[in-house]
């Protein structure tokens, strides 16, 4: 679908939605900082050495430090803490055994670290698109929301990723938009009493995806009108889909609760592609953002050497003060 046509139709669809969406003074700060401890507020001196906390709160993931710390995720978390990282994210948390979810949550609490996003189980994808308006698809999504409440209790998490799914080619785009908004409103009713935020993510993986641009995400969040529905701004995907990142971050910032990182091309650590992450991080820091930034990317080099290179890359990109 051509970008111009999409904008025209989505604006028409959105015109009949809420015209006075609720706003929060600093939603990117308050939503993104849920579950933070004093450790995450410890801003380091830019001349500080290895192991000191970073200026921003970067979240590692399972496997990122496997060669340095071993296969056990909790050992990797401890290693990440020793390198100065103060958060993790785990897309597959909802699929982990209950005991393991609890163990990870306990380890984070002991270290004073925060839990970033986990993916809402069947929260919307090509196999279960909320664009369709089908009751069975909606029920699967709401079941995922109810499950997310329990997962969050175990891992001390407050953020869960939702992807609305694919286009429903047999429905007008405005009807699809309304179906997505209706589903997210019902999901928010489940999550909001527990202080859990679903963060909707626009992706670049395939043109079949319904949600691809930050202005779409912004429109949806304003229409859902709940503190439990905000934006996950994945900078890798948004660089591929729309570019002009700092401008688009500024436009959508009031609805952003979480950022994710990945350089393009390659989807690796800062310093390996075309994106100037030092400048982007400086801009985000300057806006007062105190939430987490998920390191949702691979290491550009293999083995322990690659893991050390990743740490050096983050030290360099974070030295913006």
Do the domain assignments include residue 313?
A: yes
Start-to-end Cα distance in the chain: 42
pLDDT above 70 for 48: no
User: Which distant-in-sequence residues (6+ apart) come within 8 Å of 315 by Cβ?
Assistant: 50, 54
Query: Phi then psi for 60, rounded to 5 degrees?
Result: -80, 175
Give the lowest-confidence range in 37-51, 64-78, 257-271. Answer: 37-51
Do the domain assignments include residue 4?
A: no
According to DSSP, the β-strands at 87-88 and 57-60 are parallel
pLDDT above 80 for 44: no
Distance separating alpha carbons of residues 200 and 217, to the nearest angstrom: 7
Report the CATH number at residue 112: 3.20.20.150
Rounded to an integer, the average pLDDT of 109-120 is 97
pLDDT above 60 for 14: no
- pLDDT category at 123 given cuts 50, 70, 90 is low
pLDDT above 70 for 35: no
Tokens of 289: 């953002």
* Residue pair 9/173 in contact by the 8 Å Cβ criterion: yes
pLDDT above 90 for 25: no
More confident residue, 36 or 178: 178
According to the model, what pLDDT value does residue 128 have?
87
Distance separating alpha carbons of residues 146 and 176, to the nearest angstrom: 23
Do the domain assignments include residue 65?
A: yes
- DSSP bridge partners of 199: 161, 230
Do the domain assignments include residue 180?
A: yes
Distance separating alpha carbons of residues 112 and 168, to the nearest angstrom: 44
Rounded to an integer, the average pLDDT of 266-286 is 98
According to the model, what pLDDT value does residue 30 have?
38
**What's the pLDDT tens digit per position in 218-239?**
999 999 999 999 999 999 999 9
Rounded to an integer, the average pLDDT of 20-27 is 36
Do the domain assignments include residue 298?
A: yes
According to the model, what pLDDT value does residue 71 have?
98
- pLDDT category at 19 given cuts 50, 70, 90 is very low
Owning domain of residue 185: 25-317
Rounded to an integer, the average pLDDT of 178-183 is 98
With CA atoms as reference, report the closest residue to 23 among 201, 191, 221. Answer: 221
Do the domain assignments include residue 218?
A: yes
pLDDT above 70 for 215: yes
According to the model, what pLDDT value does residue 26 have?
39
User: Which distant-in-sequence residues (6+ apart) come within 8 Å of 269 by Cβ?
Assistant: 261, 263, 295, 297, 299, 300, 309, 310, 313, 314
Tokens of 176: 């699809």
With CA atoms as reference, report the closest residue to 103 among 68, 154, 66, 59. Answer: 154
- pLDDT category at 27 given cuts 50, 70, 90 is very low
59 three-state secondary structure: strand
Q: How many domains does the chain have?
A: 1
Percent of the chain at pLDDT above 70?
Answer: 83
pLDDT above 70 for 253: yes
- pLDDT category at 47 given cuts 50, 70, 90 is very low
Do the domain assignments include residue 2?
A: no
According to DSSP, the β-strands at 197-201 and 57-60 are unpaired
pLDDT above 70 for 92: yes
According to the model, what pLDDT value does residue 239 have?
98
Do the domain assignments include residue 11?
A: no
């Amino acid at each position: 679908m051509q970008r111009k046509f999409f904008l025209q139709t989505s604006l028409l669809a959105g015109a009949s939605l809420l015209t006075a969406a609720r706003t929060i003074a600093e939603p990117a700060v308050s939503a993104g900082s849920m579950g933070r401890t004093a450790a995450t507020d410890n801003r380091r001196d830019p001349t500080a050495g290895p192991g000191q906390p970073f200026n921003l709160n970067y979240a590692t993931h399972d496997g990122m430090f496997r060669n340095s710390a071993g296969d056990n995720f909790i050992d990797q978390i401890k290693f990440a803490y020793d390198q100065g990282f103060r958060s993790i994210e785990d897309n597959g948390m909802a699929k982990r055994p209950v005991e393991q979810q609890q163990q990870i949550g306990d380890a984070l609490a002991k270290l004073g670290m925060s839990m970033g996003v986990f993916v809402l189980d069947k929260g919307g994808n090509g196999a279960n698109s909320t664009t369709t308006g089908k009751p069975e698809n909606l029920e699967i999504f709401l079941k995922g929301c109810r499950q997310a409440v329990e997962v969050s209790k175990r891992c001390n998490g407050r953020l869960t990723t939702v992807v609305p799914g694919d286009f429903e080619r047999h429905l007008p785009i405005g009807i699809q938009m309304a179906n997505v908004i209706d589903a997210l409103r019902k999901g928010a009713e489940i999550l909001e009493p527990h202080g859990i935020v679903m963060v909707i993510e626009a992706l670049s993986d395939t043109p079949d995806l319904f949600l691809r641009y930050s202005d779409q995400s912004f429109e949806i969040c304003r229409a859902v009108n709940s503190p439990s529905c905000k934006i996950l701004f994945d900078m890798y995907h948004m660089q591929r889909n729309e570019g002009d990142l700092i401008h688009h971050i500024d436009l959508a910032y009031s609805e952003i609760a979480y950022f994710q990182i990945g350089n393009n091309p390659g989807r690796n650590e800062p310093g390996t592609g075309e994106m100037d992450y030092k400048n982007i991080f400086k801009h985000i820091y300057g806006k007062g953002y105190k939430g987490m930034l998920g390191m949702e990317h691979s290491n550009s080099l293999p083995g322990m050497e690659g893991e050390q290179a990743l740490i050096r890359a983050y030290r360099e990109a974070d030295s913006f003060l």
